[in-house]
Structure 1
Amino acid sequence: MSEGHSFMKILLIEDDPSIAQFLSNALTAYRYTVDTAADGQLGLELATQGEYGAILLDLMVPKIDGLSLCRHLRRQGCQTPILMLTAKDSDEDIVTGLDAGADVYVTKPCEPSQLIARIRALLRRQGSAVSSPVLKWGALCLDPGLIQVTYQQQIITLSPKEYSLLELFLRHPQRIFSRSAIIDHLWSIDESPTDAAVTNLIKDLRRRLKSAGITEDVIETVYRLGYRLRVPPQTDKKHNEEQLDWTKQQESYLKQEGIVLFDEALQDFQASLEKRLEVLDRAKSLLQLNHLDSSEIERVTEEAHRLAGGLGTFGYIRGSELARSLEHLFVERLLPKEELYTKFCQLLEELKQEIAKQPTPSTITTPQTASTPLVVVIDDDSSFTEALQQAATKRGFRLEVAPSRVIDCHWNVTEAPSVIVLSLYGTSMQANELSLVQNLKVQFPAIPVLILAKQDRLDERVAIARFRNVRYLLKPVTAQELLETIATVLSRNIVADAKVMVVDDDPVMLKTLTSLLQPCGLQVTTVPHPEMFWHILKFTEPDVLLLDLKMPTFDGIDLCRVVRQDSAYADLPIVVVTAHTDIDSIQQALAAGADDFLCKPIVGSDLVSRVINRIERSRSFGGGNSRSQQQQLKILPEESQAWQSEINKDGLTKVASGQYFHEFLAQVWQHLSGEQAPLSLIICDVDNFTFYNDSHGYQAGNFCLQQIANAIRECINPTSDLLARYGEDKFAVVLPNSNPNAALQVVEQIQFKIANLQISQNSSDKTRQISLSLGITSTVPTTEKSLQNAIAIATQALYAAKARGGNTYCLYPS
């Protein structure tokens, strides 16, 4: 069970109101939060969310009976423990229930204490219980077995919600919980608490603990993000060692869980290969007999398409290429029947040989968690750095001390720090120290630097203020005070409790995406059936949406249109995850409102980087829930023009926004169609931007995009042309009245400007520099032609340029 899932929440599926109320009351008394479903259909929708420690399931429920529901959940890969609670007590009924996938079969009537004991046993087997049954914070102890809280061996009386809240923080000492996350964990779905209810609960718990004699504040408020457990007070050495071990256990938990999920997904995929190949073998036989009709062609094409994405994701790189070639045999249909059969047999045989091999280890993308923040301290005061080292370890930071003379001479780093702390020598800043700050900002342009000064001098503040992202602090400062400041600086980059919703009908792909995203602290909701999409979307309220393109019932294009037509989700980032990169698919997805494409096979680092970047930048625009805040803005008439100008710009790069790009292009298209004048469109993408982000951090990535935007802007005519931020690391250039030759001249200028920036991909390898891939198309707009078609052609040209290795361009005529 994932760290994001609540071990305190139980799903009860029972249609008898009196029994449901009785069981709910009994579970609540034991500090569980209970969601109740009166029928199997609602129970399926709730269980699919995967937010429960256990499911209590009655057999005789309407709409979908208990046995069918249990089988359905297990086929979907649901691992949540299921306890069947029913009046049917024959041996045959028990065997049938267990064979359907239930973990425990309990007959009614059942004593509540026995029921609770069975639930605890299920949770223990699932690994929900921690290795130590008693959770500790200094002298404060919470015993889940006794449902008892003590401080210095004196019992503290807490309400059920206060107890659950304290247990939540003690089980996850490193995690920041937003108010919405606390509501998800502690309240059932039929309750409607506000953020104020969480605030009051926090206050009540703090007051109870204070009245029990705890002088320190157990719960820490993290500005704009939520709450977390404060570092416990220093006690005896043994306790400190226990606390450190527990912290390390929690830090490694998500990563280990992600690896397990990924391994399970790999095993599931390998187990499915036999049936997938059967589809291709059947197609081979039908093709030989000339009986391969349109439905069979569609089936074999779709299977080859799925294989191409899956094989590449799990390390069968050559196999992925062969599967894609099989798909294209039927999509393009260029060969005569005899040659088609020969080529199909050849590719299929090679594919089987590749699948028989072991996947390439270096290409299998295993999940990675965000690393522990690294703080580099440049200071010669050993007593201060030793105290800081001890405090940093307890706080969950890695700290490296570098004497200033070492930095002055030569400093080679294998990992970019999260924060740099520079302590000044004397009462005023020396020339070499100012030079050192400058060198640090050149090497780490987006890394925060904290200057510790002995005296408050205006001239020093002015000199420091000229550098970006540098803070000025005065000594004396304690280790705890400095770490508090560092935590505040870092907290601005934390994506707290972000929600990702993934819609894909392939259960292996759902498990794979979950294994890559969940270890990063993201809450992942998977939707295997598109018909459940809208209900789960409203229930989840995700920060980003990942959609597969081709699915039964409703495909990704349908769902994308549904999202965009609702004003509440008009700005929800949508990423299409697909192996379809043909021009029709690109055109349809862009026209439906997709923000970006992520092509299969999936590369884990690229997936994580794109998702986190979209969440961070979406939140930074509105300081959290940008959609709701924008809807609440009341703009005065005299401010409306300035506001309109501002929302037409991208908040980071200050070039035009993607939305304004489409508006501008539509206006220019209509104008030029009347004049029969040419138009050129350039779409460019930063090569290996994910690697740059991973190497330098997201702040450096932001700065890199700003530099690129400024460079491109210098290559166009600002009075007639338009530069827009078109995606995460994409830009679009609209060139009215420009033929292909004029567009190529602009592209060459852009390449020259980007090369002159000399932005190194990696600080240890100066030869690898940031570059662009560019897709170009030119046309004469008419009322019969579609501007969406021009965008799709430019996008396809971009993908062709990237396929050639990047740092080049492709021109596709419209």
Structure 2
Amino acid sequence: MKILLVEDDPSISKALATTLTAHRYTVDTALDGQIALELALQGEHDIIVLDIVLPKLDGLSVCQQLRQQGCQTPILILTAKDANEDIITGLNAGADDYLTKPCDLAHFLARVRALLRRQGNPTVSPILTWGELCLDPILIQVTYLQQVIVLSPKEYSLLELLLRHPQRIFSRSSIINHLWSIDDSPTDAAVTNLIKDLRRKLKSAGMQEELIETVYRLGYRLRTAPKKEVEQVKVEDCQKENLASIGQVVWDFRASLEKRIDILEEAARSPVYSLSSFQHQQVQEEAHRLAGGLGTFGYAKGSDLARAIEYLFIEGDWEEDRQQQFTQLLTELKQEIAKPPTVLLPTLKPLILAIANDTLIAELQQAAPHRGWQVEVVCDRSDVLHRNGNTPSVIFMSINHAVPDCGLMLLQELKIQFPTTPILILTTQDSLDSRVTVARLGVSRYVVQPATTDEIFDAIAQVLPQTTLTDAKVMIVDDDPIALQALATVLQPWGLQITTLNQPKHFWQIFTTTVPDVLLLDLEMPTFNGLELCRVVRQDVYYSDLPILVVTAQIDSVSIQNVFAAGADDFIAKPIIGPELVTRTLAHIERSRIQRQLLQYQKEHLQTRQLQATIDSLTQAANRHYFDEFLHREWQRLADAQAPLSLISYDIDYFKSYNDLYGYPAGDNCLQQVTRVVWDCIKPGRDLVARLGGDEFVIVLPETSLEQALQVAQRIQQAIAQLQIPHPSGTHQYITLSLGISGTIPQLNISPQELIAIATQALYAAKARSRNTYCLYPL
């Protein structure tokens, strides 16, 4: 993966570039905005890390010009400008993410990886696999059959490039652009040797399959991964089990119809006004359940008839014409349910609707079951537009010449009939005009012949809805047990933990025990309806952001308005179409998880910024501001408790000459090492080390007497001596410290600044005594 790093501070640029290179990224660097703009437009970069304050052209202008010229490369702004207005301006300029300095390098790398993942499919696992070969970008490790393969940085980067873009053919020049920085100038032979070395190491690790395919006169690409027969058997067994579950649901629904119709027929045999209130309520409830259940299983007209009967009993104003209307509706309902059901549950194998009449279709149909798919073939326009059955997951259209007018018309009709279904076309022509024409019609993939079956299936896989299983929890509330069983059967194959409830009066107890990730509510239910339950959830602070989907057959504008007014996030109309239910449910789960992650990140970011405001970024000791607050707080506390407090002021002997001899980076490293040693010599939960500036530090020792503070100073001197940091320009061979110790029992009429002054005097006295010693002055 190749990164363009734009930073005008050479030390920061070197540190970031070194870190990225160590994690197998190829890095191009730019020190001003003008060069950055030229490199970004000319090179192939996977991500751009961009400072704002730059010479010649500022980072915001670079970002804006890149977006105006169509550059879609993800941009991470890395800057010291941390005001809210700056962040908003940066994101509005076209940046994808914004990170403020100083930042933790692990945090920076995590942001880079997140942006790189966002380029592809966000649901894909960060671990890249090909058969038994695994590449872990986080561990920077490649394994085959769980055995580590040692690769050079370039070999690793090449393997990652191919695994991340399995369908793309990379020419030698493209590989050079991805793997070498712009300052390098390798030849095509370097790529050939790199390919040869990678193949040799993979073969030495035991891989018999050839991973890299040479495409004549074009370049290299990843071969199709070998299938795992055992896994395929498990998938087929799972599909059979799920199909059996759906069949059981259909059977249970058919078995329940007779009892429900008997209740309605019994009511129809006598005048409705003579029914008891219990019978009246019973008929109303059974009609309501029938409306939902019939809709779920494809009896759209039957659902409308049952709903009409329910409304008759809700209105309750019975006259002779109403009795006749009830009888007529019941007769029509019985005729409707005598027909076989059209089950609208999802096909467990993704359905590919293929519009073609060539020999390639037979090969697709034969290979589809091995991928867990099914192919339905239609040969002409009328068969497509008048077909019945499940909504296809993908439409595949084969055109043996440039897209004709009749083909364009069919594409337009397909987008109207299947607005959310991806369309893939296969054609012999590869022209810009044809590509633009079909792109305007919303075609998802354009495949040019000749293409193999695997290539077509790989293109289809890219546009298929992702079926990644999830461990999310879903709670479904519906007073109809059959409807509950149907909804649960639709969602369970997707790895969801399903909780069902058909008694709304127990809702809150089950809900707070389950704590679901998404809630599905029926609209009309006895005791408490779906709108009331939705409002109850929204009233609670803890659950106010929980995704709520209302499942209802009432899709009039007033009902829909009431659904959203109650706080629901979405509604699903009955009759239920399985793919729609699954897609919407998973989408709300994913959106909710992203929002929670964002809130968690914002919380952690706030905590980090609060922490950064109290610490010295170089040594991680407390800064002067926090030292003043801490000392004042402890002074007040210990004055009330009449307990001792001690201070130790120290600095590094001849530190200026150390910087002059070794340079400032070495000096910074020395400060860090000394500070870590000092922390190890005190009690971090009680004591405090603070940096007041340069090499001047102070240690606050609450509840510590002068005698105990002296022991601390002696421990520090011994530890520094054992550290043995060379310093030949001083009076000793290694780095040493001078320390000034003071202490007292705080008094409210005495300022803590007096204690600081005495400790400082003791430090100066120690420095006057040839250094590498300590002096103790009581307050």
TM-score bracket relative to the smaller structure: 0.3 to 0.5
**TM-score (structure 1 length as normaliser):** 0.36
- Rg larger in 1 or in 2? 2
Greater relative CO (CA pairs within 8 A, separation 6+): 1
**TM-score (structure 2 length as normaliser):** 0.38
